[in-house]
Structure 1
Amino acid sequence: MTTAADAWAQAMAFANRADPYPFFAELRRTPVARVADDLYVVTGYYELLALSHDPRISSEFRRSPLSGPRQTDDVQPADDVAAYGAQPSLIVTDPPSHDIARRQVTRHFAPPHSPDLIPGMEPDIVALCDELLDRAKAAGSTRIDVVDDYAYPVPVMVICKILGIPLADEPRFHAWIFDMLAGIDLGPDAGTAEGQERAARAGDAQAELRDYLAALIADCARGEGQGLLAALVTDTDGPDGPMPPEQAVANAVLLLIAGHDSTVNTISNCVLTLLRNPGTFEMLRDQPELIPRAIEEVQRLQSAVQFFPSRSATADIAIGDTVIPAGAAVHLLYGAANRDPRRFPDPDTFDILRPDNEHFGWGSGIHTCVGGPLARLEVNLALETFLRRVTGPRLVTDPPPYRQSQIFRGPRHVLVDVDAIT
């Protein structure tokens, strides 16, 4: 019989990145399971829902045993999660620090203070989606890499414009972010020579990205910048005042990475999932009003963010026939809970018309994705444009190659042959 520790190791192994879900199903036999010293994983829907709202679960990464030296041969420290800030970002902090930072960010990003920012991006998103397909058409191409040629440029353009980061700098931070995410490895591959090389590159990339953003934010503090980053460090009218520059750097890393990477994965996963399920591409093309429901179902089935490894218990917590001891690391596995058959009938099936589809694809609790509304808009417009203009798409390789990260899980390339781009 497979132990919880074995199932967890298999789920995290790169060889199984394309399909970790059978191992998540093994783990769900015990919805809250101890998989290593000081590490518990939560795979049950109801257990995860409860813990994501439980104040005894801390998101302060410095409290987690995984933030320090390696615990066992099976568990690697997630040091590169600290890329979200030597000064912590809002995703790795607890109230009241979290609440202050989240208010400072949303004040310049979302209603009620900035109600037009996200809707105002729609014309630019549509124009870029059309431009990307026009390029492929003009080149006479009958093969598209959905990731590189389509899914990646859209959210990068959007997040750069919102944050006030020069889009011309994209090649620099693209490489840094790729290396950073490749170095965050919580599985058995981290201990290999290749894994250690990736971790070293991730550390270098993290330093480069932080230095780049620190210089940009220093310019913003002098009144030379624009966008959300400038607003964060110059806002003297808000109830919490301006964000200190060093904290703004940490949140800039978070917003830049989370603001595009998970959206790239979601757009790619949408096309991949539709082409894996005959008839659904045509169904959405003919009934575009169903696109929002389809996106939510893709997020349930193929969560772009599978979990985030910063949480720990601040007290003993009895849940799911298990007691999580105070001080233990706790991973809330969204990708596993989203396929819990106790909550979702026939959970491995892609069902566009699935009712009552309250999944964890955008997180849950106080750390629910602040950029969820923007991501939904981007994915909806990108998918609608692809459906309208691409005819006869077919997957070249399935499964496609995946990137290294277990956390931000997504394909590295999705090659699609097409009959035409109209």
Structure 2
Amino acid sequence: MEPARIYEQIHQFANRADPYTLYAELRKTPVVKLEDGSYVVSTYEDIVSLLHDPRVSSDKRKLAHPPPADPMPPSFIGTDPPEHDRLRRLAMRHFGPPHSPLVVENMRGELHEIVKELIDGLADRTRADLVDDVAYPFPVTVICRLLGVPREDESRFHSWADEIVETLGVGEGSVEERAERRKAALLALGGYLGELARSRRENPRDDLLSGLVTGEGPDGSMSEIEVLTTATLLLIAGHETTVNLITNGMLTLLRNPGLLERLRDEPDLVIGAVEELLRFEPPVQFLPQRCALDDITVAGVTIPKGSSIALALASGSRDPAHVHDPDRFDPDRPYIQHLGFGGGIHSCFGAPLARLEAQVALRQLAKRLVNPRLVADPPPYRTSSTLRGPRHLAIEYDSVLPYQGP
């Protein structure tokens, strides 16, 4: 089969449950030119090289044939230095080192309490949807509290965030139709967050949004539109990818009951399990629409200046040239290196929080659910091939054990 056709099949919804056999075929041609003139790179070393190559831009506006423009400027993950570096530093002042080094660690107790309450809610029945009941409400509650978004507004921003995610990258429908859906959702979410930002400017609180609005440092301060694009990014990325990580994690563990049993008895196993999940079943499968700022030769193929490049992260993390026995889930690997959080200057801003959320959720689900088993395998999947994960994950279980601490 032609490599370009293999790439198309990866994005077809019929293959959402298992794209990995197709990735294996795609890697036989490490750099593939598609019919629209764009390129896809699928091997680990080549992806890592491009993630660190200053000739590769994350600003899709620099493409020779840019896609339809979004109604707002890109957030910092869609820009290049020095703009990217300035905005990321301003955002990080309120989230992590060096200015706020304990933000994530200080949330540990709160994370356990949120998960405890969610699992307590499963105790009066023997069947649950782990997406609706745990994997979605957990990171949504966390990012709402961190950012300062009222949790009761979840029903307002849920559909907007979902639409923005589902129209990211390749998907069903025409490019124009997807662009219009994305535009409408971005405008609605932007309007909502704009109202919140204005209220925080007048009455700051102890939350990340207030920090973005009022904060100043050596780089100055964020403009109103920069606050808006950053808040939009953090709200969406702060829960959508973690939902997939937790759900893919439970699905994988339920398919490996021996490891699920070990996780109950070996608390530290969850650390390696989450890292292996980020390699084995990553929530972000592609980084689409990177731009070549110059002619770049990769694996003997010259990608012309202005071309669009898609990096198949999920394929790279299962590259047998990089990792032994890549299609086996093994949290005991002595050295787990993956592309689950991207790499280079654009490596995932929220990685420390996502890791901790997944560790807490998977550990508590393993400890407290008695004899959990899948109702359907494979489960129904979300539409997006870029942010891939089950839409629902129905399970049955015998009972729920009382909470006994972390």
In 1, Cα distance between equivalents of 2:208 and 2:317? 33
Q: Assess if the C-alpha contact under 8 Å between 2:263 and 2:367 holds in 1.
A: no
Q: Assess if the C-alpha contact under 8 Å between 2:169 and 2:288 holds in 1.
A: no
1:16-70 Cα distance to aligned partner (Å, 9 max, x none): 111111221111011121123331111000000111000000001211356336x
- Per the alignment, residue 124 of structure 1 pairs with 110
| Residue number among 127, 130, 133 corresponding to 2:119 in the alignment | 133
Q: Assess if the C-alpha contact under 8 Å between 2:284 and 2:388 holds in 1.
A: yes
In 2, Cα distance between equivalents of 1:287 and 1:143? 26
Are 1:343 and 2:343 counterparts? Answer: no
Unaligned runs of 5+ in 1: 70-78
| Residue number among 68, 74, 78 corresponding to 1:92 in the alignment | 78
Are 1:181 and 2:172 counterparts? Answer: no
Deviates more, 1:174-183 or 1:379-388: 174-183
Are 1:145 and 2:129 counterparts? Answer: yes
Are 1:104 and 2:90 counterparts? Answer: yes
In 1, Cα distance between equivalents of 2:24 and 2:318? 8
Q: Assess if the C-alpha contact under 8 Å between 1:185 and 1:404 holds in 2.
A: no
- Per the alignment, residue 246 of structure 1 pairs with 225
- Per the alignment, residue 266 of structure 2 pairs with 287
- Per the alignment, residue 305 of structure 1 pairs with 284
- Per the alignment, residue 368 of structure 1 pairs with 347
- Per the alignment, residue 75 of structure 1 pairs with none
Aligned-pair distance for 1:156?
0.8
Are 1:169 and 2:153 counterparts? Answer: yes
- Per the alignment, residue 209 of structure 1 pairs with 189
Is the partner of 1:311 in helix, strand or coil? strand
- Per the alignment, residue 60 of structure 1 pairs with 59
In 2, Cα distance between equivalents of 1:200 and 1:337? 32
- Per the alignment, residue 271 of structure 1 pairs with 250
Q: Assess if the C-alpha contact under 8 Å between 1:179 and 1:198 holds in 2.
A: no
Aligned-pair distance for 1:117?
1.0
| Residue number among 384, 388, 392 corresponding to 1:405 in the alignment | 384
1:73-129 Cα distance to aligned partner (Å, 9 max, x none): xxxxxx6xx4xx722211100000000001001110001211221111111111111
| Residue number among 301, 309, 320 corresponding to 1:322 in the alignment | 301
Q: Assess if the C-alpha contact under 8 Å between 2:287 and 2:313 holds in 1.
A: no
In 1, Cα distance between equivalents of 2:177 and 2:86? 37
1:163-185 Cα distance to aligned partner (Å, 9 max, x none): 11111111110111112222335
Give the superposed CA RMSD.
1.6
1:189-213 Cα distance to aligned partner (Å, 9 max, x none): 323xxx9766544332221101111
In 2, Cα distance between equivalents of 1:109 and 1:310? 28
Instruction: Specify whether residues 65 and 213 from structure 1 end up closer, same or farther in structure 2 by C-alpha distance, changes over 3 A only.
Output: farther
1:389-413 Cα distance to aligned partner (Å, 9 max, x none): 1110101111111111111111100
Percent of aligned positions that are identical: 46
Q: Assess if the C-alpha contact under 8 Å between 1:12 and 1:186 holds in 2.
A: yes
- Per the alignment, residue 46 of structure 1 pairs with 45
Deviates more, 1:326-335 or 1:222-231: 222-231
In 2, Cα distance between equivalents of 1:308 and 1:337? 12
Is the partner of 2:288 in helix, strand or coil? coil
| Residue number among 220, 229, 243 corresponding to 2:209 in the alignment | 229
- Per the alignment, residue 190 of structure 1 pairs with 173
Query: Which amino acid in 2 is paired with 1:176?
Result: W
Aligned-pair distance for 1:361?
0.4
Query: Which amino acid in 1 is paired with 2:344?
Result: G
In 2, Cα distance between equivalents of 1:66 and 1:259? 30
Is the partner of 1:288 in helix, strand or coil? coil
Matches of residues 15-54 of structure 1 in structure 2 within 5 Å?
15-54=14-53
Give the paired residue count. 401
| Residue number among 141, 155, 158 corresponding to 2:139 in the alignment | 155
In 1, Cα distance between equivalents of 2:339 and 2:87? 23
In 1, Cα distance between equivalents of 2:78 and 2:179? 20
Unaligned runs of 5+ in 2: 402-406
| Residue number among 365, 368, 393 corresponding to 1:386 in the alignment | 365
In 2, Cα distance between equivalents of 1:416 and 1:179? 26
In 1, Cα distance between equivalents of 2:34 and 2:10? 12
TM-score by length of 1: 0.92
Instruction: Specify whether residues 200 and 11 from structure 1 end up closer, same or farther in structure 2 by C-alpha distance, changes over 3 A only.
Output: same
Is the partner of 1:309 in helix, strand or coil? strand
In 1, Cα distance between equivalents of 2:177 and 2:126? 37
Query: Which amino acid in 2 is paired with 1:330?
Result: I
In 1, Cα distance between equivalents of 2:13 and 2:63? 24
Q: Assess if the C-alpha contact under 8 Å between 1:44 and 1:340 holds in 2.
A: yes
Instruction: Specify whether residues 409 and 389 from structure 1 end up closer, same or farther in structure 2 by C-alpha distance, changes over 3 A only.
Output: same
